[in-house]
Chains A and B, each alone.
Chain A
Amino acid sequence: MNTAHTSATADIALYQLAHGRTGDKGDRSNISVIAYDPRDFDHLAAHVTEDAVAALFSHRRPAAVRRYLVPSLQAMNFVIDGVLDGGVNDALNLDTHGKALSFLLLQLRLPLPPRLAGAG
């Protein structure tokens, strides 16, 4: 997980561009990703993909990753199945809810958005 997102073109962490929150129901985690700056939303939609998130969470063996776009909120919602080791009542993780996982997702690296790339 620590090498997949350090390619030559990846030069900003999603954390700098977006915030989010994790929720859980059973063995399913949902993580919102919300652009701080509405101008970045299309860029995030292009780069923060289901495949990219699946790769970031590969060690937790997601059964499925589904992304829902909500452009009116400049947000997307990831629904990740099977990553909570059974969920809040079953998992051995200290964080049985997976509350911390939004900050794993926000570590994703992506190219600079146009408004920042232009300045360089």
Chain B
Amino acid sequence: MTASVPASATLQIGCGAGFSGDRTDAALPVVRTMIAAGGPAVLMFETLAERTLALAQLARRADPARGYEPLLDALLAPVLGLCLAHGIPIVGNFGAANPRAAAARVRALAAELGLAPPRVAVVEGDDLSHEAGRALLRQAIGAGFPEARFVCANAYLGARGIADALADGAQVVVCGRVADPALAVGPAMAHFGWSWQDWDRLARATIAGHLLECGAQVTGGYFADPGMKDVPDVHAVGYPIVRLDADGNIEVGKAAGTGGCVDLRTVKEQLLYEVHDPAAYLTPDVVADIGAATVEQLGPDRVAVRNVRGHERPAQLKANLFCEGGWIAEGEISYAGPNAAARARLAADIVRRRMGVLGHDAPVRFDLIGVCSVFADDAGELVRQPQPGEAQAQDVRLRAALAHEDKAVAEALLREVNALYTCGPAGGGGVRTALRARLNAMSCLVPRGAVTASHTLLP
């Protein structure tokens, strides 16, 4: 297969966002490109990282009308009218911890834009924070269940609720926690009507979703390395559109008139992104196998992905839970010019000793930003060693970080970093400090049958 199959026999799946906080002007060129190409199309938004959902759960507790994607209006307003007018369903996990509130907001937004009321569906059942959910998690985790510190938990749902909602005529499907690729698998299942035991086709739709779910990461975003991997007009990177045919063959492209690129390298990087065993990419709907996958450049910014296989779906679903994790404190100060690294190291030593004097024995992580930081370990093994070029470093920023149950200990670290202004080495400047509550994450597997997923088309 080197030529494209006819547009009418395929489904275009465009991606308008790949994380919470993604660009809000990315979806419009995707939608315009799909309309110009013609044929069935769907637009997905993936806006729900692990931590994003936990924060949304907390937001909902503070205000029952919130807890969904904060950028929902900004993401949807530019494309909602166009999508409704052209029969392009929108599927997103922007419901986060509160799909019903997000759905209500979608309808209100449509009214504000002067649009006819859209048919909006919610997919629910992922939230395991309630008592029955906690009982399930207790069973799964056993003695390690963080009873007193438990905040929230969500299971990863598959694509079924999305597919059923679309089959019921939903124009916008609002999800909370579904597996990211489900945002593409659901529309593919609704469109092609494949069997839910058609593992190969489920796997191909899953890999299509996997390639789409991070937005620009398959079109030249998060890829450029000047001189090695140059990307044209990366500042204007276009978001991806996958064309799926009835056999699940994948063709990756991107919005017309945008920057970025789709080539063998960008597709390979995203194929393996967050994958462990390439022959067993676990999702709620299928175990996808890219162990023998091949890629072919069909034309400019057009890459085919073939030989994706599928295996029977796992018996269990993954669930993430979050618990209160105390406080994280971070403080920074800069040293520049001659002997900068030595002064930064002395500053670290002063802070460490002062914390000891104050009776705080919690380990503090130190980074010498500009010399040794993100490659290093929390235990400090790497940064303790003299670093290459350290003596010549002209601009070094010391960072101190600590996590502790007790807010007072976290605050003590920040005061000690601040005290470096007058008590520390010469020439330190630019202190910045931050203190935030920490959420610890755990994951576990729960029996599929114990999680009740449902979809509801709102009246």
Contacts and interface: CB of A to CB of B under 8 A. Distances in A.
A72 interface: yes
A59 B382 contact: yes
Contacts, number: 122
Contact of B293 (A60, A72, A87, A93): A72
A32 B374 contact: no
Chain B interface size, as a band, is 35 or more
Nearest to B290: A70
Chain A, interface size category, equals 35 or more
A21 B265 contact: no
Interface in B388-442: 388, 399, 401-403, 438-441
A16 to B, nearest CB: 8
Contacts of A104: 375
B307 to A, nearest CB: 7
Contacts of A59: 376-377, 381-382
Contact of B50 (A1, A75, A88): A88
Interface string B265-295: 1001111111111110000000000111111
B229 A94 contact: no
A14 interface: no
A117 to B, nearest CB: 21
Interface string A76-120: 010100000111111111110000110010000000000000000
A93 B400 CA distance: 10
A93 B441 contact: no
Interface in A1-56: 1-2, 15, 19-21, 23-26, 28, 30, 32, 34, 36
A20 B325 contact: no
* Complex A-B, nearest 7 residue pairs according to Cβ-Cβ distance, in ascending order: A23-B274, A32-B272, A95-B374, A85-B378, A92-B365, A92-B401, A59-B382
9 contacts: A19-B225, A21-B272, A34-B269, A73-B268, A73-B272, A77-B272, A89-B322, A89-B441, A94-B401
Interface of B: 50-51, 222-223, 225, 228-229, 265, 268-279, 290-295, 307, 322, 325, 328, 365, 367, 369, 373-379, 381-382, 388, 399, 401-403, 438-441, 443
Interface of A: 1-2, 15, 19-21, 23-26, 28, 30, 32, 34, 36, 59-61, 68, 70, 72-75, 77, 79, 85-95, 100-101, 104
